[in-house]
Amino acid sequence: MRRAIALSLRAIRTNKGFPFGAVVVKEGEVVGEAHNTVLSENDPTAHAEVNAIRAACARLGDFSLEGCEIYASGEPCPMCLAAIYWARLDRIYYANRKEDAHRIGFSDDSFYSEILLPPRARRVPMSRVLGEEAHAAFVEWDGRPDKVTY
């Protein structure tokens, strides 16, 4: 966790991102680490946890991080939490709470509220388009004998 905290400080001291750091560990060894790089990369998805997951997956050569744990300097936001679940990390450790982040201007409350709403009631309009046409890719994938389960 101290490494994740140090990375959060690096993010702000180098003006590359917001004060968040994350470290992915497998069997006691760091396999991926990163800080938030939203500002330097102009990428709203470049949160510390997502960056650390990408680094760990690249190093391990696998999209699954089963057997790994993540240490985050802050409680993961909804996007990062989803990425952690998709990566199949075994455990999450965090330092600052979402309430702590809220006090310094980082609030995820609106995202949590939006997720609970049906698509038509969300702030950003959602419309289904060409569903039947797009379904062909799902049918083809489902029929592949060599498909990788996710």
The structure tokens 């936001």 sit at 77
Contact 78, 35 (CB under 8 A): no
- Looking at the chain, list the stretches that DSSP marks H as alpha helix, in order from N- to C-terminal side: 2-13, 38-41, 48-60, 78-87, 98-103, 109-116, 131-142
- CA–CA gap between residue 79 and residue 19 (Å, rounded): 17
Task: Return the active site residues.
Answer: 49
Look at residue 138 and give its three-state secondary structure: helix
92 beta partners: 70
For the chain, what is the radius of gyration of the CA atoms?
Answer: 18
Structure tokens at 100: 């702590």
